[in-house]
Amino acid sequence: MIADPVRQKLAAVTGAHGSLHRPEDLALYEYDGGVDKARPEMVVFPRTTDEVVAIVKITREHGIPIVGRGAGTGLSGGAIPRQGGVMIGFARMNRILELDLENERAVLQPGVVNLDITLAVQAQNYFYAPDPSSQRACTIGGNVSENAGGPHTLAYGVTTNHVLGLEVVLPDGSVMNVGCKEPDSPGFDLCGLLTGSEGTMVLVTKIIVRLMRQPEVVKTCLAIYNEAGDCADTVAEITARSITPVAVEMLDGVMLRMVEEATHAGYPMDAAAVLLIELEGLSEAVEDQLAQIREVCTSCRAREFRVAKSAAERDLLWKGRKNAFGAVGRVSPAYYVQDGVVPRTKVAPTLREIEKIATRHGLIISNIFHAGDGNLHPIILFDHRKPGDLQKAAKAGEEILEFCVDSGGSITGEHGVGMEKMELMGRQFDGDSLDMIARFKSLFDPECRLNPGKVLPTGKGCLEIRQQPLTAGGSLY
């Protein structure tokens, strides 16, 4: 428990209305978009890096764990305070500090909403490329922590490909700047190391991102299939022809019916699956690719191939895709989202295996995913009010991820490891690799106070063992 004098010191840092400690308020911060829960003892909302530093120093003095939180849209338990302690919410650090369009850069506080970056520059024909499905709510700080992806990262890459520099606060309260506005800063790539470290090494307080020019032409297509396997064959054939769309999204029949009932985006209710494909670039190149994509889809037995005739029609198709998770909530009282990756050539057999797993556990599993890079998102429907239903869903999810690893893939593509997949890290990496990850964690956080109990499996993580400082003072220097 946090003693009252310590609580008062923390509250004084952020001022009036800058902290929460009542149980009814803390209940709102005990979960994210996943299925796990744990309640913080206090939530504080700093406005500046100096306030973050002050909070970190107070918590260090009293040995209190700290967890950073963005918008809470994460899906792997990354923002869940497993050991209670203090949660640092970055909602008030939400300013765009600089827009440097001449150099195609933006400097942001971590609480800036992902979509707001594009909205701030789209009038000047720029945009920010990584676009998670939660982009209307998720924040750039959380995106950096989880190395978030999105539908359009097939061509543009994930968050780490667009982050050039970071200001971070270490667990001892010191501030460090890594990277810069230039495309290749000297020295070790600490910016790349810390992007995707899931809040276990540092707290991010400032981000420099790359902005991009909007393309000349955008074409959005919908290919409709009577067999889900034909979708997977289409993706493999597109790759074989060296065509790189900016997005290739697949929705199976279960998912597209839920989406259509909720959003009326124009998806066919009787299809087994659809591919949502987007092309962009110079008009001549796009028209050539569009003809090739149409030919591929037809040869792979698509029953229909549509091209959005207007920006409004395009936006409606993407509205269906981006609001898919919300649509599931109209059908099932709860659902469990997985995030495995397989080689594109293994998508079809993986879908068949997911169907077998669903049958074995008596569950409904729908599929919506970034088909272009093999990043699967099986959505396991369950009822948490039924005894054992959550456990069945979790077991099914584990079996899906094990199959992904055995197929040459990964346990996560963009949602992070968090606390959800930490025990599967031993399936993904050997002991030496896990030991090296633990050493990096110890280097930055020797007292193991920053987001403890995440990423590393039992026996390797600081939830289970006491990490030792690397030096007498536990300092990086």
pLDDT of residue 416: 95
Q: Is the pLDDT of residue 469 over 50?
A: no
My answer on whether 203 and 269 are in the same domain is no
My answer on whether 355 and 310 are in the same domain is no
CATH of the domain at 63: 3.30.43.10
My answer on whether 119 and 206 are in the same domain is yes
Dihedral of the alpha carbons of 437, 443, 448, 449, in degrees to the nearest 10:
-120
My answer on whether 101 and 206 are in the same domain is yes
- Chosen domain end from 326, 360, 382: 326
Angle of helix 347-361 relative to helix 228-240, nearest 10 degrees, comes to 160
My answer on whether 232 and 262 are in the same domain is yes
Q: What is the mean pLDDT of residues 67-88?
A: 96
- Chosen domain end from 293, 326, 359: 326
Are 279 and 218 contacting, i.e. CB atoms less than 8 angstroms apart? yes
Question: In sequence order, what are the residues at sequence separation of 6 or more whose Cβ sits closer than 8 angstroms to the Cβ of residue 355?
Answer: 365
Q: Is the pLDDT of residue 101 over 60?
A: yes
pLDDT of residue 471: 39
My answer on whether 378 and 445 are in the same domain is no
My answer on whether 140 and 62 are in the same domain is no
CA separation (Å) from 44 to 14, 28, 30, 175?
Answer: 7, 13, 14, 19
Question: In sequence order, what are the residues at sequence separation of 6 or more whose Cβ sits closer than 8 angstroms to the Cβ of residue 110?
Answer: 70, 90, 93, 139, 140, 141, 142, 144, 204, 205, 206, 207
pLDDT tens for each residue of 178-188: 999 987 788 89
Residue 339: name the closest of 317, 312, 304, 368 by CA: 368
Helix (H) or strand (E) holding 203: strand 203-210
pLDDT of residue 325: 84
pLDDT tens for each residue of 301-342: 999 999 999 999 999 999 989 888 889 988 999 999 999 999
My answer on whether 442 and 418 are in the same domain is no
Q: Which pLDDT band holds residue 463 (cuts at 50, 70, 90)?
A: low
CA separation (Å) from 28 to 14, 23, 39?
Answer: 19, 9, 9
Are 398 and 178 contacting, i.e. CB atoms less than 8 angstroms apart? no
Q: Which pLDDT band holds residue 474 (cuts at 50, 70, 90)?
A: very low
pLDDT tens for each residue of 385-428: 999 999 999 999 999 999 999 999 999 999 999 999 999 999 99
My answer on whether 349 and 316 are in the same domain is no
CATH of the domain at 338: 3.30.70.2740
CATH of the domain at 236: 3.30.70.2190
Residue 210: name the closest of 264, 140, 304, 275 by CA: 140
Q: What's the length of the chain? A: 477
Maximum alpha-carbon separation in the chain: 71
My answer on whether 221 and 311 are in the same domain is yes
- Chosen domain end from 194, 213, 232: 213
My answer on whether 110 and 200 are in the same domain is yes
Are 399 and 415 contacting, i.e. CB atoms less than 8 angstroms apart? no
Q: What is the mean pLDDT of residues 148-152?
A: 94
pLDDT of residue 460: 79
DSSP annotation of 199 reads T
Q: Which pLDDT band holds residue 459 (cuts at 50, 70, 90)?
A: confident
More confident residue, 182 or 253: 253
Q: Is the pLDDT of residue 465 over 90?
A: no
Cβ neighbours of 323 (radius 10 Å): 16
Q: What is the mean pLDDT of residues 101-109?
A: 97
Q: In the chain, what is the straight-line distance between the N-terminal and C-terminal CA atoms, in Å?
A: 32
Question: In total, how many domains does the chain have?
Answer: 5
Question: What is the domain range of residue 411?
Answer: 333-422
Rg value, the chain, Cα: 23
Angstrom distance (rounded) from CA 451 to CA 435: 18
DSSP annotation of 418 reads T
My answer on whether 227 and 322 are in the same domain is yes
pLDDT of residue 411: 97
Helix (H) or strand (E) holding 220: strand 217-225
Q: Is the pLDDT of residue 473 over 90?
A: no
Mean pLDDT of all residues belonging to the chain: 93
Q: Which pLDDT band holds residue 468 (cuts at 50, 70, 90)?
A: very low
